[in-house]
Amino acid sequence: MNRTSRTENAIHIDTSLIPDPVRDQLAAATMDMVLGILRKPGGRELIDAKKAEIARRKAKAAR
């Protein structure tokens, strides 16, 4: 990985080292969380706002 693209606060995880059963549990828990958020009033808007915030941070970091 290119060290110049890292920031001091970045965390990099080699997902190839995660065992399949652990990966599957993590994926299932993530899906349950997202579906739970979407079931709540305003959940879609919350996710959309978070995605927009991430996109803004990425655009700012790319400058």
**pLDDT tens digits for 11-29?**
898 999 999 999 999 999 9
pLDDT of residue 61: 87
Residue 26 Cα distances to 17, 20, 33, angstroms: 14, 10, 11
Please report, in angstroms and rounded to a whole number, the separation of the first and last CA atoms in the chain. Answer: 20
Name the pTM for this structure: 0.61
User: CA 44, CA 51: separation in Å to the nearest integer?
Assistant: 11
Residue 7: band (very low, low, confident or very high) from pLDDT cuts 50, 70, 90 = low
